[in-house]
Structure 1
Amino acid sequence: MGRHAKELPTEQADTCIVEFAATLRALREQAGNPTLAEMASRAGISTASLSKAAGGYEMPSWRVTEAYVESCGQDPKSWRKRWEIARRETRPREFTADESVESLNLNPEQRRRASWPRTWERWDRTGMILPSHRAETTLDLRLALQSLRTYRSFSLRQLASLMPYSHSTVAAVLSGARPVSAFFLRSYLQACGVNSYGEVLQWMDLLRTSDPSETSSAGSVLRSTLRDNGGHTTTDGWKPRLPISSQIDRLKKLSLRQRSEHLRKWLLGELETKDRNAIYRRLEKLYGINAVDLHLFEREEWSLTLDQLNKVAREAKRHGFKDIDPVVELG
């Protein structure tokens, strides 16, 4: 049994943070009140981080929250929305919009930002992450993407870690310094957990309306999305699992897992980030392999089939890299 935790703060503390900490403590109690050391061993995170998460003084990151919930034997997927709501409530007001300012004194961009909380309420209520039906310009699209990042509580670096783009590129697109492409939009949406065909369709429609030059690419992305979803929509996308490929029968001496581990170590150990991202973008364009999936593969949260492993190795060799898993068969 874990030792008795300190009382939750009652003064000079954010009520929302205290309430979230209380739910974490209740979860730990339901799990039999394991010690922090036991939880840390299961979650692979420090006892100090776990203790601080339930301390009630500051809002924990999603990574720490996820580890806390998993260490208590629960599925963190059901906690994601709860954490997002609490995280939004604890942000400084200026992070989103100052609603005390008279709307007549706001420029168009400030007025759109002021509407974000109502958009988040709609997303929470419907479970569908869709842009406003009134959105039709590049400014509308850009601000909708900014709103989605705020809704998901991602920093630019966290987003970039799930996308085949640097955080500076993501920042440039969101600020309007670079255009939004169909492939960028798809990677951005999937990094934010927007995976269903119906959701992606409406975002791509907004892109086509705001930038007709992206019509063809948007259509290609939609066909790929429909194919990835098996011809139907799905809304479960934070940690998807692929079925074991039937091609596993072709493996002889080394298992698919061993080959995956070898390729993963090679990608992370031998390639610079810019080279790896360039390969991922080409794989997405040529073969429809989602670049977000490849980044999740790096983190061991996604499985690649043998055919996909072959294509990654083949593309890397085309870029001039030789020391790749020799046992991955081409063809």
Structure 2
Amino acid sequence: MTMKLRNTVAGIAVALTVGVGTMAGAQAEEVNVYSYRQPFLIKPLLDAFTEKTGIETNVLFDDKALIERMVQEGQNSPADLLLTVDIGRLENAVASGVTQSAESEVLEKNIPAAYRDENGQWFGLTTRARVIFASKDRVEQDTITYEELADPKWKGKICMRSGQHVYNVALIASIIAHDGEEKAEEWLRGVKANLARKPAGNDRAQVKGVYTGECDIALANTYYMAKMLQNDKEPEQKEWARSARIIFPNTDGRGTHVNVSGVALAKNAPNRENAVKLMEFLSSDDAQQIYAEVNNEYPVNPDVEASELVESWGDFKRDPLPLDRIAELRKKASELVDKVGFDDGPES
């Protein structure tokens, strides 16, 4: 029976159905996806999956409360898969008890161990690096470290979104893992003192700050460069992107911090077999190529190259810190953000 999306939790912003299944009976050829990822990002992948397998996909999108929804739905949840970004959300899903192990030789072959849970509770599908967008006009150096962001030479020159955003919490957790909590707190205070303004907006807004001259460097994920350069609906963003260049931090040391987008098999998946097929497809060469070309993210499958645009940014060394270690330290990282009053801005 085709999934009927029930609004059991307030705040569900959009319900998008892609290729709604019409076959009757318990063995309907469909799979139900709960997605934190925006529909336009995953539609090409799901369309390709349906074309290849004949299995229809039903997608419920929400950028905030899907895990909570799955908890409330319990064993009656229609969710087969959870798609999300950031190791923190993946681990939160596991901790909330809404996932189950997926055993698959295909997934183990296609996805390196560093980007999947050792117990099969989640699997990374793409990676993204947390990098520096540096002004082409005002920043001459072509190397940098995360630690250097606390150097007083950058006072009033850094733009950064909220320290409590999942992307930054993960980065701060990696700093704790490498340098210890005390040094991480000192570093966070130094970065706060160097901010050009109170943290606000998304990653694109930080790059806009570089364009306007409000700051010289901004912290953002790699794929935002591509999203801005290819944004025909808001062409001004192309100018923002062209004003900056990407510098991969710590390339000469431990490497640049990377995070993932990933997938988890829902605990009570009513279409488990089809769900595993979709997971395997998303790790395949075909799907990983779509991720690379359409979303401009780095494929986790080592047999698939990044897009030509992404490759043009240059090679970089990835921080080998295990993602589960970052997940363990997210709580401490979040507490440090509050402790130093990071989101209050540089003058507080």
User: TM-score, with normalisation over the residues of structure 2?
Assistant: 0.27
Higher helix fraction: Structure 1 or Structure 2? 1
If asked which structure has higher relative contact order (CA below 8 Å, sep 6+), I would say 2
In our comparison, the structure showing a higher alpha carbon Rg is 1
